[in-house]
Amino acid sequence: DKVIVLPTDTIYGFSGKINTTKEKIQAIKGREENKPFIVLIEKPEDIFLFSDIRPHQDLLALWPGALTIILPLRNSEESIALRCPGDAWLRKLIADLKSPLYSTSCNRSGLPPLSDIDEIEKEFSKEVALIVEDPSSGSGLASTIVSIEEHSVKLIRQGSLMLPGYLF
Which pLDDT score, from 0 to 100, does residue 140 have? 75
**Banded model confidence at residue 82, pLDDT cuts 50, 70, 90:** very high
Average pLDDT, the chain: 92
Task: List pLDDT tens digits, range 90-131.
Answer: 999 999 999 999 999 999 999 999 989 999 999 999 999 999
At 87, which CATH number? 3.90.870.10
- The pLDDT value recorded for residue 32 is 80
Domain span holding position 148: 4-167
The CA distance from 10 to 159, in Å, is 9
Q: Is the dihedral of CA 143, 147, 153, 158 positive or negative?
A: negative
Domain count, the chain: 1
Name the amino acid, one letter, at 137.
S
Note the pLDDT of residue 9: 83
Average pLDDT over residues 21-25: 94
Which has more confidence, 135 or 6?
Answer: 6
